[in-house]
Amino acid sequence: MNTLIQNCINKKLSKTPIWLMRQAGRYLPEFRSIRKKNQDFIKLCLNTKLSSEITMQPITRFDFDAAIIFSDILLVPYALGQQVSFEKNFGPNLQKINLKTLNEIKKEDFLKKLDPVYKTIKKIKTKLSVNNKDTIGFVGAPWTLLLYMLNRKSPKGANFNVFPKDKHTNDIMVKLDKFLKIHIEAQIKSGVSIIQIFDSWAGLLQEKDLEYFVYKPIKSLVDFIKQKKTVSICFPRNINNYKKFVENVNPDVISIDYNTDPTIIRDTVDITVQGGLDPKILLQNKEIIRNEVTKYLKTFDGKRYIFNLGHGVLPNTNPNMVKYLVDVVRSFNGK
């Protein structure tokens, strides 16, 4: 099946595909209605009926070119035996990791815990195939998951020191590589056509630590995805040198954050580019939205480009402005 996104990766198209990170989420009243009745976020992610419904909400409303499965990167630590919860006004809260449990986890037990995710993918794939749209699966990158597993909460706003490159850290990284590949393969078998790798906290690292914590671990996953003949998108948020990342990791698509100058990416990166728009722009008026969106579209005009944001849709975003964003992109396509 040649979807708009897959065609875009292979050649420059007259139409720019569009989907948004966190397109299924708190800014939608239909999502908030479900969330209000389902306070346990992990259970909600593992509820196939509801997660399927949530995944399809932005497709129904905005007709995006792809759906990204409603799930969370922290389902992997959860499936590895670490207790994970989400607290209002705090975010993820992880209990201390039990290395004995981690070392004893079996593939079949891991897959059983995440089976509802794979069932969700199968349901969504059936619905999207009719309209020739992509189904996107995802994982957190090893570094970002390691950070959550050892820090046990978001590092946002906190002082942070990189973990030592010792046996303890390496053992967890090796375990993550193994089970992330198991999770990726199960998503692909269930029907996703794209895997996005989120390295949300790559920007915390110094240049000297990127090879160990980012380049090598993500390249291992990207190579695995390629072996499965599936598209890989990498989002190493807030790194300083996307060109070097692409040269070291070689993904199919590089997704850029909103702190990155798009003209530098255009002039230095040869692969398909995704994203870049600051999500806060969607909190502005229509004139500002149109100007900023058009800036990205013009910057990458003539290049292989997938429109997206430089991070996820913010909870206080007006859905009407998302609709306007889609209209601007599709109007540019018809220029």
DSSP 103-158: HH--HHHHHHHTHHHHHHHHHHHHHHHTTT-EEEEEEE-HHHHHHHHHH-B--TTS
Rounded to the nearest integer, the mean pLDDT of the chain is 93
Cα–Cα distance, 214 to 240 (Å, whole number): 13
pLDDT exceeds 70 at position 298: yes
Q: What is the pLDDT of residue 14?
A: 78
Q: What is the pLDDT of residue 227?
A: 98
Cα–Cα distance, 309 to 322 (Å, whole number): 11
Measuring CA to CA, which residue among 78, 71, 87, 201 is closest to residue 137? Answer: 71
Q: What is the pLDDT of residue 158?
A: 60
If you average pLDDT over residues 106-133, what whole number do you get?
Answer: 94
Q: Are 104 and 91 in contact (CB under 8 A)?
A: no
Backbone angles phi, psi at 40, to 5 degrees: -85, 105
Q: What is the pLDDT of residue 131?
A: 82
Q: What is the pLDDT of residue 70?
A: 97
- Total structural domains within the chain: 1
Pairwise pLDDT comparison (234 vs 166), residue with the higher score: 234
Q: What is the pLDDT of residue 4?
A: 86
| Of the candidate ranges 50-64, 75-89, 175-189, 280-294, the one whose mean pLDDT is the lowest | 75-89
In this structure, what CATH number is given to the domain that contains residue 293? Answer: 3.20.20.210
Q: What is the pLDDT of residues 197-210, one digit of tens each?
A: 999 999 999 999 99
Q: What is the pLDDT of residue 261?
A: 96
Q: What is the pLDDT of residue 87?
A: 79
Q: What is the pLDDT of residue 218?
A: 98
Burial class (CB within 10 angstroms; exposed 0-12, middle 13-18, buried 19+) of 91: exposed
Q: What is the pLDDT of residues 245-272, one digit of tens each?
A: 999 999 999 999 999 999 999 999 999 9
Domain that holds residue 323: 4-333
Count CA atoms closer than 13 A to 30's CA, side-chain side: 14
If you average pLDDT over residues 82-111, what whole number do you get?
Answer: 88
Q: What is the pLDDT of residue 157?
A: 61
pLDDT category of residue 165 using cuts at 50, 70 and 90 = confident
Q: How many C-beta atoms surround the C-beta of residue 101 within 10 A?
A: 11
Measuring CA to CA, which residue among 137, 139, 301 is closest to residue 221? Answer: 139
Structure tokens at 109: 């037990």
Measuring CA to CA, which residue among 110, 118, 180 is closest to residue 143? Answer: 180
Sheet of 134-140: strands edge to edge?
A: 66-68, 134-140, 194-199, 231-236, 253-256, 272-275, 305-306
Amino acid present at 83 = Q
Taken in order 93, 98, 102, 106, the sign of the CA dihedral is negative
Q: Which residues contact 219 (CB under 8 A, 6 or more apart)?
A: 248, 249, 250
Q: How many C-beta atoms surround the C-beta of residue 87 within 10 A?
A: 10
pLDDT exceeds 80 at position 160: no
pLDDT category of residue 6 using cuts at 50, 70 and 90 = confident
Cα–Cα distance, 128 to 114 (Å, whole number): 22
| CA-CA-CA-CA dihedral for 118, 219, 164, 144, to nearest 10 | -40
Cα–Cα distance, 81 to 103 (Å, whole number): 10
